[in-house]
Amino acid sequence: MKESIAIDMDGVMANVEKHFVDWYNERHQENVSIQDIQGKSEANAFPEPGIIKKYASTEDFFRTAPVMTGAVDAVKKLNEHFEVYVVSAAMEFPQSLVEKREWLKEHFPFINWRQIVFCGSKNVIKADYMIDDHPKNLDPFKGKKILFEAFHNLEVNKFQRVKNWKDVLDYFEL
Amino acid sequence: MKESIAIDMDGVMANVEKHFVDWYNERHQENVSIQDIQGKSEANAFPEPGIIKKYASTEDFFRTAPVMTGAVDAVKKLNEHFEVYVVSAAMEFPQSLVEKREWLKEHFPFINWRQIVFCGSKNVIKADYMIDDHPKNLDPFKGKKILFEAFHNLEVNKFQRVKNWKDVLDYFEL
C-alpha cells in the first residue's frame, strides 16, 4: 500500500505570499516587496494590520492565486508514488470553497475529487506525511511533519524544513 | 483531552432518504414511500436508475434537506462532551460545498468552522469514533465504527448499528 501525504494549498501549492504583496501594492499604490515581509507575522506583515485576513475573505483572491514554482510537476510526481491528499483549511473563508475547487481543477487537473479535503482544524487529518507552512497544523499531526518555508515561519526550527518544491522532491528522493 | 467523533451529514444529520423520496414524487407525480426503497441500493432505489446521483448534483438539493429527527439536540449534547467534527464527502458534488456550509450554519449554528470537514475519500480522517451510514467510509477508519441505519445498509452486519439519534445517545451513555 502506498504511503499517504497531506499537502497544504496556501503557501505550499499556491503562492499566496506573492499574491498578498501584489494585491496590497495594487490597492495601496505601494511598493512592498516579498523581501519586506520576511520574518513578520501574518497579522502584521503589511503596514496596515489585518490585510491577510481581509484579502483571504475577499472574492477572487484564492481563485486568482499564482501557482508556487515547481508545484505542478512535483505534486504530479508525488501523486505517482504516494496517496496524495490536498488538505486546505478553507472553512474559515466560505467564499473560498468553490474558488479553491476550481483553482485545483485548473492547475492540478490530475488531482481528483477523492483527493481533496477542505477543513477547519487539521486535527482530524491522518496521513503518513504532512507538508504545511503553519506550525499549528503540523503540531497535532501524528505522521512525519514537513514545514514548507514561508515569510511567517522563518524562526520555527522544530520541523524538517523545505524551502521549495525541489527540496520536497529531494526529501522524498524523487 | 476529549475523545473525538467524526459525524457524517447525509443520511445521519440530514434526512436525505426522505428528501430523495419527496423530490422524486414531486418530479414524477409518483407515490414512492420510504418503505418502498428499504433494502435497495442507492443506484436502484427508484424506478428510474441514477436518481440519487442526479439529485445530489442538482442545485438546492442539499440546501433544502430536512434535518434528521433528534439530530440537533443529540449533536449539541455530543458537542459538550466530545471533540465533534462534521465530516461530509461533499467534494463529488461541488455545488454542494456552499449549500452544506449554509445548511450547517442554519440548523447546527453551534458547530463552528473549525469543526467542519468536506472531503472526497474519508481515508484521510482520524478520530476516536465515526458515525456514518456508508460501510465504504467506516471500512478504512481506525477508530470505533458506528453504522447509522439507512435504506441502503440494512443487510450490513459487521458494524455497531444505531437506528436513530436516540440510539446514538444511548451508545455514548448521554
Summarize pLDDT for B115-170 with one digit per residue, the tens. 999 999 999 999 999 999 999 999 999 999 999 999 999 999 999 999 999 999 99
Pairing of strands B116-119, A116-119: antiparallel
Q: What is the rounded distance in angstroms from the CA atom of residue A34 to the CA atom of residue B56?
A: 44
Residue B67 pairs with which residues in a beta bridge?
A: B14
> Tell me: the pLDDT tens digits for B1-41?
899 999 999 999 999 999 999 999 999 999 999 999 999 99
B6 phi and psi angles, rounded to 5 deg: -95, 120
> Tell me: the pLDDT tens digits for B89-110?
999 999 999 999 999 999 999 9
B144 phi and psi angles, rounded to 5 deg: -80, 130
> Tell me: the pLDDT tens digits for A65-108?
999 999 999 999 999 999 999 999 999 999 999 999 999 999 99
> Tell me: the pLDDT tens digits for A12-22?
999 999 999 99
**Alpha-carbon gap: B36 to the closest alpha carbon of chain A (Å):** 31
Residue type, B150: A
Scan for cell 494549498, then name that residue.
A9
Quick check: helix, strand or coil at residue B161?
strand
ipTM: 0.94
Quick check: helix, strand or coil at residue B16?
helix
Axis-axis angle for helices A96-107, B96-107 (nearest 10): 160
DSSP 3-state helix, strand, coil percentages of chain A (rounded to 5)? 35, 15, 45
Chain B neighbors of A83, CB-CB under 8 A: 123
How confident is the model at residue B156, as a pLDDT?
97
Chain B residues with CB under 8 Å of a chain A CB are 4, 6, 83, 85, 87, 91-92, 94, 97-98, 101, 112-121, 123-127, 142
Residues 6+ apart with CB under 8 A from B170: none
Question: A14: which 3 cell numbers?
Answer: 499556491
Instruction: Inform me whether the pLDDT recorded for A1 exceeds 90.
Output: no
Residues 6+ apart with CB under 8 A from A57: A93, A95
The answer to whether A100 touches A118, Cβ cutoff 8 Å, is: yes
Q: Is A167 a catalytic residue?
A: no
> Tell me: the pLDDT tens digits for A132-150?
999 999 999 999 999 999 9
**Alpha-carbon gap: A131 to the closest alpha carbon of chain B (Å):** 14
A27 phi and psi angles, rounded to 5 deg: -85, -15
Band the pLDDT of B113: cuts 50, 70, 90: very high
Band the pLDDT of A171: cuts 50, 70, 90: very high
Question: A111: which 3 cell numbers?
Answer: 488531482
Nearest neighbour of B125 by CB, restricted to A91, A101, A126 = A126
The answer to whether B168 touches B131, Cβ cutoff 8 Å, is: yes
Within 10 Å of residue B154's Cβ, how many Cβ atoms?
A: 12
**Alpha-carbon gap: B64 to the closest alpha carbon of chain A (Å):** 18
In this prediction, residues B30-56 reach a mean pLDDT of 94
Angle, CA of B128, B129 and B130, to the nearest 5°: 135
Residues 6+ apart with CB under 8 A from B114: A91, A120, A121
CA distances from B142 to B5, B126, B130 (A): 12, 7, 9
